[in-house]
Chain A
């Protein structure tokens, strides 16, 4: 029963996507939206049934692999189309289909009236299917298929408004950077096939201990490369802020709640490999910490509402990488879940604001929206409090757990991570509340006043947008209560069954860390409030401000290092190889053939007698041939 439900969960969005594609213009745009939404909710239903079934089962019986058919077979090596249903994948399934369903529902309101709505819903159903394939895959190859497909869906959706050159450029950038990660991931898999002869999770993990440490390190590096690209960690992070060119629901679903968390999922799923290559695992934690800090600093000076939230996402995923890097897998996934709730909530409330202001995203032009959009205000505030880690909101329980686990590792690395995590908490408080105050508090700005008069009639937004936001607001508030350290920790135990944690913080360590982190968050709140009321920016030093505004010059660096040489090379090749050699030779072939044809045509003199003579000669020659052969 639960296996069937798991398959239904996986295939339902695919059916939705195919239906919308094949029906094309024959269904209304609204119908396309309903098909997408319903197919995602059906997937959620399937995930729920699978989850409940798994929960009710005996703890030793919580790992099921269901194989549909053998996809590839080459000698001894085989790859099946198979899904894995265990505690980790069932949790991911719920998150993806649940939050996904709410966001798809929300997009019905957000994209209403767009000419190409159907295309959007087909793409987004494709995305949900791909993400589910990624988390449900029973072997690495199917994971790679899902990995690539989510990258494709991301490309299609970032560039959804294809008549905007910025959107197209952003889509290409995202795809290319993800391709780098895909390549390293694929190379890692090749090594696995070479050394272990299989790509099934169970098969690989059994053999990990027997491999040489070089091999395991290389494989782990390959997997980490993929994770870093997909989750927008340094150094492959520059695509994420640009990806905000896509519609806001896309940002919410793909670039906050699910796709960017695929890297974290991979780190947890492949934990046996990483545990056998501890250097790589620690590298993951370090990269996470660095990203956490860098993104937090950059977020302090951004003035595009979506970009602030995007950098915040980058930062929070840094926390998850940190957790996975030190072996606190349960907390990594826990933070993944709570982050999905509050980050999607933040994006969607921002979407309500943008929708209300007819596409304006510059927070310098906003202000005083609290009075105009009270419900959005509450939702956004819930998300902000959760993000900043204020108790009892969801983010509090998950983020502090990670920092405490860093403390519990008791070594130099742990100390660094601990410090980074706490600084991050301060930064989070700063940028989150800077955003909150700029958008919602103070006097209504000119722009807001203009829009208030026009929109008074229909309120903050259609129900299809408000209900999902409301649901997420509730989740962002209470969703963290599945882990109360020292009291009950069902979520952690659940994930522990699949991935045993390497480190456990004691309850004292946990609450002690929380105290420090919450205080830092509150300090951030106070500082941001003071700065807002004084009308000042958070960063005043012009030098620092410039560096942060240019996002630490990463884009410029990559442009000089990679793009310019590649462009120069391609121009040079075009001028010196393509045109003179390839094109010219093709022309020559053509004109040469015509010339030869002309020459040959002269044989056709039209004189019958010539033909007769030719025949006679031919017969003469043939007679000789036949006689000689005989």
Chain B
């Protein structure tokens, strides 16, 4: 019984994921695209929950959907009409090649997965209930992966500085 429910939830979440993904890529109004991405992120969070990654799911909603996408929406609002994104072309050779490349990649991945399914993708490991809990993540970050933790924080600092720099250097010119 529980299995069936999980399957249904998986199916709905996966469908939403792919559907919103296609929406993001194909909409002409960037505002709608951003909203579609928020939907995408939410369905991904559900998938994460199904994979016992509770903390990551929570972080995804809080950080990604909550902060990053809001920032995106701010910028879209600032740009107003200028942000409109029609589907206008580009060299047809380019478009054809792009589709071919993407399809090729997809096919390859499916093939590889197919080849590996029998051997490597059966029997996921048994995990304790605390797998993916904040406590476990926290412990891992602060013991085994401390360096990654610190470096990530530096990356964020650099990005913040970069953002400020990008935002303010032009003010003198604009004023003049």
Contacts and interface: CB of A to CB of B under 8 A. Distances in A.
A623 B94 contact: no
Contacts of B101: 613, 616-617, 620
B108 interface: yes
A114 to B, nearest CB: 71
B105 A616 contact: yes
A624 interface: yes
Contacts of B104: 617, 620
Contacts of B105: 616, 619-620, 623
A610 interface: yes
Interface string B71-103: 000000000000000000010001001100110
Provide the main secondary structure of the chain A interface. Answer: helix
B102 A609 contact: no
Contact of A609 (B94, B108, B109, B112): B94
A613 B108 contact: no
Given A620-B108, A623-B108, A627-B112, A610 B94 contact: yes
A621 to B, nearest CB: 9
Contacts of A616: 98, 101-102, 105
Contacts of A609: 90, 94, 98
Given A620-B105, A623-B105, A613 B94 contact: yes
A619 B102 CA distance: 10
A607 B108 contact: no
Residue among A612, A619, A620, A623 with most chain B CB within 10 A = A620
Contacts of A617: 97, 101, 104
A609 B102 CA distance: 13
A560 B90 CA distance: 77
Contacts of A613: 94, 97-98, 101
Nearest to A627: B112
B154 to A, nearest CB: 27
B166 to A, nearest CB: 19
Contacts of B94: 607, 609-610, 613
A617 to B, nearest CB: 5
A75 B101 CA distance: 65
Contacts of A610: 94
A623 B102 CA distance: 13
Given A609-B94, A617-B97, A624 B102 contact: no
B155 to A, nearest CB: 23
Interface string A587-620: 0000000000000000000010110110011011
Given A616-B98, A623-B112, A624-B108, 17 more contacts: A607-B90, A607-B94, A609-B90, A609-B94, A610-B94, A613-B94, A613-B97, A613-B98, A616-B101, A616-B105, A617-B101, A620-B101, A620-B108, A623-B105, A623-B108, A623-B109, A627-B112
Interface of A: 607, 609-610, 612-613, 616-617, 619-620, 623-624, 627
Q: Considering the complex of A and B, which 5 residue pairs feature the smallest CB-CB distances, nearest first?
A: A616-B101, A620-B104, A617-B101, A623-B108, A613-B98
14 contacts: A609-B98, A610-B94, A613-B94, A613-B98, A613-B101, A616-B101, A616-B102, A616-B105, A617-B97, A619-B105, A620-B101, A620-B104, A623-B108, A623-B112
